[in-house]
Amino acid sequence: MLTLNDTTKYTLKQVVVNYQETGIISYFLGMLPWHYESRVKTLNSFALKAETGRYKKVSELEDFFGACLVVENSSSIAYAIKLIESKFKVAYKRPKQQNYTHKDPDSFVFDDLRLYLMIPKNPDQRPKGIEEVIFELQLKTFLQHAWSIATHQLIYKGDNLSWASNRIAFQVKAMLEHAELSIMESDKLTENYLVNKTNKIFTVHKQLVSFFKERWKEEQLPNDLIRLASNVRELMKVTEINLQELKDICRESRFIGKKPLLNISPQVAITLAIIECKDGVIERLRKKSRNIFLPNEGISLLSEDNRREVESICLKPE
C-alpha cells in the first residue's frame, strides 16, 4: 500500500506551485466563450486514490493536478484538441480512439475525453522541474460539464450508496447525450420534414434581414441582424405598416434611399423614415404609450415640427 510521507507531500505542493507559474490558466481563459477551471486533489482524496493499489509510484497519479476545459458543443472538440496540442505534449488520452468505446449501447457511464499532458521542454528557458509530470485535462461540452456538477455528489461522494441516485444521474446523462447529438447535427436535422417549417414571424424576420443586406453595406450593419430584425418588426407592428410599405418608405426616404446616411444606424434611419413619411405615426405611438429610442444626432435630422413631436415619445437618459 502506498503512503504519503512528509517529503512526498512537500514535493507535491511544489509541483502545484510550479503549475500555477506555467500560464495554464491564463492560456485557457482567453478561449472565450469557453470555460476553464482547475483543482488540486485534497490530501484525503489523493490518499484514497493511492490506496487503491493500482499505482507503483506516487508520481503516477496523473490527476493530482486536474483541469477542465469546457467548450460550446461537440463540434468545438477537434479545434480545442488542436490548440492544446500546440501548447502541451499529449502523453496519452482516454478514450484512446474517438470511434471506439468500452461502453455497451445501453450504458451511459462517464466517458468524457481526458487528455494527459506534460509541459514541453524548452531549450531556451530554464527547466521548471515539472516537464515530465503528467496532469489531467478533461475536455467537455457545457452540457457534459453541467451534468458532472449537478450529479457529482450523487455518484462519487459521501457514504450513502444509492442505486436509485445513480439511476437518476445516468438517465439524465442519456438525455443530455441526445441533446448534444441534436445540437451538433442541427444543420442536418433541420432538413427533416418534421422540423423543416416556419411561421409568420420567422418569415418576416428572414425577409427583413435580406432587405437590410440589400440596402446597407456589410460594414454599416450590426453583428446581430436577428436583433435588428426583431426591433424593426416591433416598430412595424406599433406603427401599423407592412413589409412592402416599409420598403417603399425606405426607398423614398432621404435618410436611406439609394445611399443610406453613414452617421446613423439602420435602426435610427428606419425610425426617422417612418416618422417623416407615415402620417399620424407619432400620435399613434402616444396613444399606445409606446416610446422610441433616438439619439440626439438622429432627432436633429428631423424638421422642427417633427422634432418637437418626437421628443414627447423618446426615451430620455436618467
Q: Between these two residues, 128 and 78, which has the higher pLDDT value? A: 78
Classify residue 316: in a domain, yes or no: no
What would the pLDDT profile of 197-242 be if each residue is shown by its tens digit?
Answer: 999 999 999 999 999 999 999 999 999 999 999 999 999 998 999 9
> From CA 247, how far away is CA 211, in angstroms rounded?
8
Q: How far apart are CA 133 and CA 81, in angstroms?
A: 20
Does one domain contain both 146 and 43? yes
Task: Report d(CA 131, CA 129) in Å as an integer.
Answer: 6
Q: Is residue 318 part of a domain?
A: no
Alpha-carbon separation of residue 11 from 18, 201, 273 (angstroms): 11, 63, 72
**pTM of the model as a whole:** 0.71
Q: Domain of 285?
A: 200-311
Question: Measured on CA atoms in the order 289, 295, 300, 301, is the torsion positive or negative?
Answer: negative
Statement: residue 272 has pLDDT above 50: yes
Residues 138 and 204 in one domain: no
Burial 138-149 (b: 16+ CB within 10 A, else e): bbbbebbbebbe
For residue 61, pLDDT beyond 80: no
The cell for 38 is: 482547475
In a domain, 180, yes or no: yes
Please say if the pLDDT value at position 261 is more than 80.
Answer: yes
The chain-wide mean pLDDT, for the chain, equals: 83
DSSP run (H or E) holding 215: helix 200-215
Per-residue pLDDT band for 309 (boundaries 50, 70, 90) equals confident
Residue 1 domain flag: no
Residue 81 lies in a domain: yes
Peptide bond preceding 95: is omega within 30 degrees of 0, i.e. cis? Answer: yes
Least confident of 54-63, 126-135, 286-295, 306-315: 54-63
Are 167 and 289 in the same domain?
no
CATH number of the CATH domain containing 173:
3.30.460.10
